[in-house]
Structure 1
Amino acid sequence: MGADGSVNFNISGTGNLDQLENSRYEGKIDLINLKVKPERFSSNLLVNAKLRFKEKRFDIRSASIASAGIS
């Protein structure tokens, strides 16, 4: 699978990354015009999404997936 586009990733937190169960963290991920070519698909997919997470919770705030044409 190949990919084009951009991903903005922002995370903040406290604790020890070697002991995630005792850490507190949150952040966001923005997928911007991310073009992916899944295996066994004849066309690329164009993905835009705003994702948020806080500890064990993951939220999709908005998302769109469209065919980007045949590669």
Structure 2
Amino acid sequence: MTADILGVTLHGTGPEPVLVLHDWLGDASTYAPMRPYLDGKRYTYAFADLRGYGRSVHLRGACTI
């Protein structure tokens, strides 16, 4: 994985993309219990780990607004 790319877990193979972002102090695994109920034939879900969490824990930088 390149140092500047977010970690993403894909679910489904549908033509419509859906970007799913986790809440503060979580990661993409937060949504694991609901994945079996998602329509993977209609949608492709991208569960992103935001910088500093989960598969993106290696990404560094200032946290500013």
Normalising by structure 2, what TM-score?
Answer: 0.29
Scaled by the length of structure 1, what TM-score is found? 0.27
**Which structure carries more relative contact order (alpha carbon 8 Å, separation 6+)?**
2
- Give 1 or 2: higher strand fraction: 1
More helix by share: 2
